[in-house]
């Protein structure tokens, strides 16, 4: 295997709950992601998928273990690692153009340079005609494309995506899955993508990481040896989807207590 771009080594994450209780969210996760790979992570709700992604982005501390970007520890957000959230997280007072150019603006680039970057990436996501629009004037799918363009405008080496299409209707989700693969082919970006959708994972991924219920461990990592573009009617596609669903069905998570839900709100969407 090629040298990893992103590596997790025996990663653990604990949260302190009410009355001094400790909740283990992620348990001994190790994973290597190589150059230009598309990894999808699936697992039951609450298994720590989003927490793991936030740790990889440098947004959440680790309780134990390490996450490395090209052999350098990730302890804080860094320019080489971009993040796209399920919530569109656009700044409502900025135009589409100014949302996309936020990273270059923070980096101190001139207005002309920022506008050129925004034009390039808005064209990439087919939103060039909406540069002057405000976020509230766009549909959900369009807002998520703006969020992807904004992340790509920083030219990240690794793009982390936390259920970016989870709030969209089925048809828009399928359209954006195709769009994401087209963009990825254009940019050769390494992607780690968290999803609840097994079908989505099989459609997008080079490998699918299947996690157990909390405390989240990696149950297995499955290669998706189905040629692209993938056909959902392909029997091999259906067999792999069914196999992953069966793995998830055989794992039953213990229900979270009311205290756990109240003390660990950041896990609610994992």
Tracing tokens 């001139």 back to the chain, one arrives at 110
Rounded Cα–Cα distance for residues 31 and 130 (Å): 39
Give residue-wise pLDDT tens across range 184-216. Answer: 988 889 999 999 999 999 999 999 999 999 889
pLDDT at residue 260 greater than cutoff 60: no
Rounded Cα–Cα distance for residues 29 and 48 (Å): 10
Rounded Cα–Cα distance for residues 62 and 69 (Å): 15
Q: Report which of 86, 82, 83, 89 is spatially closest to residue 135, judged by C-alpha positions.
A: 89
pLDDT at residue 91 greater than cutoff 70: yes
Determine how β-strand 218-223 pairs with β-strand 190-194: unpaired
Rounded Cα–Cα distance for residues 114 and 96 (Å): 12
Give the mean pLDDT of 224-243.
Answer: 96
- 268: pLDDT confidence band, cut at 50, 70 and 90? very low
6 DSSP 8-state letter: E
Rounded to the nearest angstrom, the gap between the alpha carbon of residue 108 and the centroid of all alpha carbons in its chain is 27
Instruction: Spell out the domains of the chain, with CATH numbers in brackets.
Output: 4-77+172-267 (3.40.50.300), 81-155 (no CATH)
């Amino acid at each position: 295997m090629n040298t990893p771009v992103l590596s997790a080594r025996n990663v653990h994450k604990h949260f302190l709950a009410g009355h001094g209780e400790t909740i283990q969210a992620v348990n001994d996760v190790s994973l290597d992601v190589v150059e230009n790979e598309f990894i999808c992570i699936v697992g039951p709700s609450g298994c720590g998928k989003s927490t793991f992604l936030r740790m990889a982005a440098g947004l959440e501390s680790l309780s134990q273990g390490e996450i490395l970007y090209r052999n350098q520890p990730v302890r804080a957000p860094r320019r080489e690692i971009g993040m796209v959230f399920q919530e569109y997280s656009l700044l409502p007072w900025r135009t589409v153009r100014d949302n996309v150019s936020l990273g270059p603006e923070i980096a101190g680039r001139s207005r002309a340079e920022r506008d050129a970057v925004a034009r390039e990436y808005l064209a990439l996501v087919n939103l060039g005609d909406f540069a002057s629009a405000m976020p509230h004037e766009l549909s959900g799918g369009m807002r998520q494309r703006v969020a992807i363009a904004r992340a790509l405008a920083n030219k990240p080496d690794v793009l982390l995506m936390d259920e970016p299409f989870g709030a969209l209707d089925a048809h828009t989700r399928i359209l954006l899955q195709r769009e994401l693969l087209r963009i990825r082919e254009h940019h050769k970006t390494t992607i780690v993508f968290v999803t609840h959708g097994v079908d989505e994972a099989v459609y997008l991924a080079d490998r699918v990481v299947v996690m157990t219920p909390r405390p989240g461990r990696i149950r297995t990592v499955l290669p998706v040896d189905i040629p692209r573009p993938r056909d959902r009617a392909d029997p091999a596609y259906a067999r792999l989807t069914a196999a992953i669903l069966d793995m998830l069905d055989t794992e039953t998570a213990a229900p979270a207590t009311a205290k756990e839900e109240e003390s660990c709100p950041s896990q609610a969407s994992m």
